[in-house]
Structure 1
Amino acid sequence: MEPPIVYYPRSEYIETDTGNKVSRKSVICGSQNIILGGKTIIQTDCVIRGDLRRTGGGHAVVVAIGRYCLLAKGSIIRPPYKTYKGIFSYYPMKIGDHVTIGEGSIVEAATIGSFVHIGKNCVIGRFAIIKDCCRIEDNTVIPPNTVVPSFSIYEGSPGMFVDELPECVQDLYEAKTKDYYSKFQSKDS
């Protein structure tokens, strides 16, 4: 089934030189610490906390998001944190290419690989590692420090392995994210 063309008001989105489309109604804190790989869509009411970083001088990348990613409405991205030897610290988060994060999901993972689909209303716990080519079903809670292996489907609360993905999933997710990006168009164009 062919996904429909999604029209958005041009005045509501900022489009960068690298093709990122960021809603003006999203909250992007510490933008100097966030890297978007290109052709990423950040929809309305998303929150990305690039201001939560280790103390100290210098420029630090807190959140790195790859190419052709989609952060759906109301998703929250914040770096993981922990207290070590009495010192509270935030740690960087890396999100790979062709990643979809569903509406209302909260992500505090250390790493999300490429070709990953995270459903609606999911919670990805602190320092979770989601390997390449995975699917997290809607309403799933991935506990902190969980490692989700490649080509797996996780579901439930707490998230458990329920099935395996075929090896062609990389091509499918790549086609899906590129298709969505091409059909996410301003009303004025």
Structure 2
Amino acid sequence: MVPYIRSYRDAYPRIDAGAYVAAGVVIAGDVEIGPDSGIWYGCVIRADVNKVRVGARTNIQDGTIVHESRLYPTLIGDDVTIGHMAVIHACTLGDGCFIGMKAMVMDGAVVEAGALLAAGAMLTPGKTVPGGQLWAGSPARYVRDINEQDRAMMDYTAPHYVKLAHEYKNSGG
């Protein structure tokens, strides 16, 4: 099984040669993926009515769906971690933010640089998670400021996934 990468209308995905795209990934339309990023097994990134941009050294983990809307593109910064089975829809994720497993970020929402959205959280349309804060719940709400343990986990995860993506890419997997 190989990734399925296809154009839509006149837009063809642009994937940096240094990025890793795992088997079973679907990428369609006006999508750009930056260097050293990893798109893991079973992800779908679809941009058919707007654009999706993924920065450098970002990891989008297994089973995640990324889409946009007519009103909002999806903009994902550098050094972002998106946990397994998240839904990222027509929103903005700032550099170095962390999105937990099965979290949902909805239309027009913003997770600022250095913010953390907990596993299972649902960030409703138009909400903003300020940098340095942890939000959780459904709907997501402020829980507390990020502590040293959170920061250490966030600082570890993005570079770890860059290394892992390089290992997979170099081993043919």
TM-score by length of 2: 0.81
Secondary structure of the residue that 1:67 maps to in structure 2?
coil
2:64 paired with 1:75: yes
**Which structure 2 residues correspond to residues 95-174 of structure 1 after superposition, within 5 A?**
95-166=76-147, 173-174=154-155
C-alpha contact 2:107 2:126 (8 A) present in aligned 1? yes
- In structure 2, give the amino acid aligned to 1:93: T
Aligned partner (choices 40, 59, 64) of residue 53 of structure 2: 64
Distance 2:43 2:121 in 1: 19
Give the structure, 1 or 2, with the largest relative contact order (CA under 8 Å, sep 6 or more).
Answer: 1
Shift in Å, 1:110: 2.5
Aligned partner (choices 157, 161, 164) of residue 180 of structure 1: 161
Runs of 5+ unmatched residues, structure 2: 5-14
- In structure 2, give the amino acid aligned to 1:155: A
Runs of 5+ unmatched residues, structure 1: 1-10, 54-61, 82-88
- Figure out how many residues of one structure are paired with residues of the other and give that number: 160
Shift in Å, 1:94: 1.1
Q: 1:95 to 1:121 in 2, by over 3 A?
A: same
Shift in Å, 1:52: 2.6
Offset from partner CA, 1:86-140 (integer Å, 9 cap, x none): xxx3432211111111111101143110111111111111110111101111110
Residue 42 of structure 2 is matched in structure 1 by 45
RMSD: 2.5
Identity %: 26
Residue 28 of structure 2 is matched in structure 1 by 29
C-alpha contact 1:98 1:174 (8 A) present in aligned 2? no
Distance 2:137 2:155 in 1: 25
Shift in Å, 1:23: 1.8
